[in-house]
Amino acid sequence: MATLTLLRFFLLLLLLTVQVESTNLNYTTDRKFSSLRLQRIQRHLDNINKIPLLTIQSPDGDLIDCVHKRKQPALDHPLLKNHKIQRVPSEMPKGMKVKEKSEMGMGMQKWHQNGTLCPKGTVPIRRSTVHDVLRAKSLFDFGKKRRRFSLARSDAPDVVSGNGHEHAIAYTGSAEEVYGAKATINVWEPSIQEVNEFSLSQIWILSGSFDGSDLNSIEAGWQVSPELYGDTRPRLFTYWTSDSYQATGCYNLLCAGFVQTNSRIAIGAAISPISSYDSNQYDITILVWKDPKIGNWWMSFGDGTLVGYWPVELFTHLATHATMVEWGGEVVNTRANGQHTSTQMGSGHFAGDGFGKASYFRNLEIVDTDNSLSSVHNILTLAENTNCYDIKSSYSNEWGTYFYYGGPGNSPQCP
């Protein structure tokens, strides 16, 4: 009987072409997938893609599902069975105003160009497709970030040497209690050489040990990830884990966790417009901070527009506070063909090139015990190989603490 069933699956082998639209990349692969695997993928997608009240077709090909906010994936989390969705945090950091509605986010996402918005009481969620999952190494890996390995130094930030992840980051030095972080991040479209590489620019809010299995991390920023999205557009993303990127957590709303409250900002959607070399510059502002009364970690976008929150129940160490913040770029270099790949970080230009050419993070701030935002001082910077990607920090009255970062990847200096 089992043999017969198995035989039937082999007979039903399907040929699927995973085609990804791109100007500079050809991700077309012809692979065979068993119908058993496709059934498993479909079951997973039926779980995470909720039945929408309305679906909006974005000009970039994304489908944005407007899902009733009580039906969103977060509430499938076993610890959130009886969760009451918070409409607003108990407090914004001192000096910030709560904006439940704002026009700020309007021009900032590609799908807004459709002209239709999600109805009241719903949240926009980028629909995942079979092809999205098929690009991942496995169903388990879909939406997850692979484990980062730390340097042996216990005072060093969580960086990788050996599995291809490279960074150019600034980080808070002393192990102080941190309750949030903010930055304004320049948006570019770095090119990616290989489908399974990515380039991101983000804030990390961390607690726990870098070399143990209990690192808690909340991450947000923009990323270009052909594997995750099937294209090379920079997209707004979030990430969380409470066990060092092992079993818990995921990108965006690809697992139960992040509770979205905003009906205009879709996490995982393409950002528009983006900066161009020596011409118009665009940036996004992200603030993540801990609600001082309830304990949830909230995220706001732009000028204080609330996006949603990570419920305190998701975390162990971050249930109390963070101990480190990192800001900056991360890429994966797979060393395809035995060379450093030409995957770019930031704008693809080195920090020294400055405004309009190199990518920047400006107005780096942290939230302290008192729920006050203030400019971060005494940051440290780190780049594993400055011949490939580098970082240069500085201070000005207008930009507070800021830095330029990035690079082209492969070059004669970065072989």
Ligand X SMILES: *[C@@H]1O[C@H](CO)[C@@H](O)[C@H](O)[C@H]1NC(C)=O
Q: Which residue is nearest to ligand X (CB)?
A: 57
Active site residue 21: no
Using left for φ > 0, alpha for ψ between -120 and 50, and beta otherwise, residue 74 falls in alpha
Query: For ligand X, which is the closer residue by CB, 55 or 386?
Result: 55
Q: 3-class SS at 3? A: helix
Q: Which residues bind ligand X (CB under 6 A)?
A: 26, 28, 55-57, 59, 114, 116
Any idea which residue has 């009241």 for tokens?
Answer: 120
Helix (H, G, I), strand (E, B) or coil at 113: helix
Q: Least separation, in Å, of the C-beta of 268 and ligand X?
A: 17
Burial (CB count <10 Å: 0-12, 13-18, 19+), residue 369: exposed
Where do the H-state alpha helices sit in 230-276?
A: none
Please report, as a single letter, which amino acid is at residue 6: L
Nearer to ligand X, 31 or 335 (CB): 31
According to DSSP, the β-strands at 122-126 and 324-332 are unpaired
- Which candidate in 219, 227, 326, 365 is catalytic? 219
- Tokens 């063909």 — which residue? 337
- Residue 411 CB, nearest approach to ligand X (Å): 25
Nearest distance from residue 54's CB to ligand X, in Å? 8
Closer to ligand X by Cβ: residue 24 or 396: 24
Query: Quick one: tokens of 389?
Result: 């990607």
Which residue is associated with the tokens 């190494």? Answer: 137
**Amino acid code (one letter) for 328:** G
Find the shortest distance in angstroms from Cβ 115 to ligand X: 6
What's the closest the beta carbon of residue 415 comes to ligand X, in angstroms? 27
Phi, psi of 300 (to 5 degrees): -120, 155
Of 166, 189, 197, 330, the catalytic one is 330
Question: What is the rounded CA–CA span in Å between residue 331 and residue 168?
Answer: 9
Is 219 assigned a catalytic role? yes
Backbone angles phi, psi at 393, to 5 degrees: -100, 160
Residue at token pair 């050489």 = 193
Q: Is the dihedral of CA 364, 368, 373, 375 positive or negative?
A: negative
Instruction: Return the structure tokens found at 29.
Output: 């692969």
Q: How many Å apart are CA 111 and CA 103, to the nearest integer?
A: 15
Nearer to ligand X, 28 or 339 (CB): 28
The least CB distance from residue 116 to ligand X, in Å, is 5
Is the CB of 17 or the CB of 82 nearer to ligand X? 17
Name which of 114 and 411 has its Cβ closer to ligand X. 114
| Closest to ligand X by CB, 67 or 92 | 67
Q: What minimum distance in Å lies between the beta carbon of 56 and ligand X?
A: 5
Sequence-distant (6+) residues with CB within 8 A of 280 are 273
Residues catalogued as catalytic: 219, 330
